[in-house]
Structure 1
Amino acid sequence: MKLQRIAIQEFRQFGGQLVIDDLQPGLNLFTGPNEAGKSTIAEAVRAVFLERYKASHLKDLLPWGLSSGQPSVDVSFELDGVACRLSKQFVSRQRCELRIGQAVFSEDEAEDKLAALLGFSRAARGPLKAEHAGVPGLLWVQQGGTQELRDSSGHAAQYLREALTQLSGGRESAGEDALIAAVQRELRQLLTARTQKSTGPLAQAEQTLATLSASRDELQQQRQQFDDNIARLAAQQQAFDDAERRRPWELHEQKAALAQQRAAAVAELERDMQGLAHALLASEAELALSVQQEQSALELEAAVARELEQLDIARAGVAAAESAHAQAEHSVTQFEQASADAHRALELANAAVTAADLRNQIDFYRTESKRLEASIADAEKANAAVLQATRDAAALEIDDTQLKRLIKLDGELTVLRARTEAAMTRIEYRLNGELSVGNERISGTGVLRVDDEKRIGLGELGELRVIPGVSDLSAQLSELAALEARHAQALQALGVASAADAQARHEQWKSVVAQQKRHADILGVHAPQGIDALRAALAAAAARRQASSERLASLPDVSAAPPLDDARRNAEIARDALEAARKVLAQTAAAKSTGIAQAESLAAQLQRKRAQLADDAFRRKRAQWQANIVEQRVKVDALKNQRGERERELQAARLDDPAAEAKRYRASAELARGEQHARQLRIAELRSELQTMGASGLGERLAALEAQVEQATRRKDELSLRASALSLLDEVLVDERDAALAQLRAPLTERLGHYLKRIFPQSSIALGDDLSPATLDRDGRTELLDALSFGTREQLGILTRLAYADLLQASGRPTLLMLDDAAVHTDAARRDAIKRALIDAATRHQILVFTCHPELWDDLGVPQRAVADLKLA
Structure 2
Amino acid sequence: MKLQRLRVEQFRQFRHGLELDSLQPGINLIHGPNESGKSTLVRAIRAAFFERYRSKSAGDLAPWGDSSAAPTVELTFKHGGKHWQLDKRFLKRHRCDLRVDDETFSGEEAEEKLAELLGYQFPKKGASKEEHWGIPGLLWVEQGTGQNIENAVLHAGGHLKSALNNLVGEVASSGGDEIIQAVEQQRKELLTSTGRPRGDYLELANNREALQQQVLELKSRVEQYKTQVDRLGTLADEHEQANRDRPWEEARREMQLAEKKYRDVEALQEQQARGLESQKQIQQNLSLLQQNQIHWRNQNDQLELRHQSYLKAKHQLEQEELASPELVAQVERARNQYQLANQTVQQAHLRDKRERLQKDCARLEADLTQLKQRQDKAKDIQNSLDAARNQKKKNLINRNALQALKKNQRELDDANIRIQTVATRVTWNLQPGATLNLNGQSVEGQGEKLLLEQGVLTIPDIGDLGIQPGGDDLASLRRQLERLRNSVSQQLTELGVDSVEAAEGKLARLQDAEAQIQRFDDLLKSLAPLGVDQLVSGRTEVESELLARTTELKALPEAGDTEGDPKPLSQAEAELKQAEGQLTDAEARQRNQERLLQKARYVSETTQQEWQRMQGELNSPERQSQIEGIARDIAVAEKQNAELEASLKDREALIREARPELLKQDIERYRATAEHQENAQQKRALELSEIRARLEAWGAEGLEEKQNELAADLEHVTRRYLELDRRAKALEMLLNLLIEKRQALTRRLQAPLQKHLDHYLTLLFPEASLEVDENLMPGKFSRGSELGQMAELSFGAREQMGLISRLAYADLLKEAGRPTLIILDDTLVHSDSSRLDGMKRILFNAATRHQILLFTCHPEKWRDLGVEPRDLEALKIHGETG
The TM-score with structure 1 as length reference comes to 0.37
Q: Which has the larger radius of gyration?
A: 1
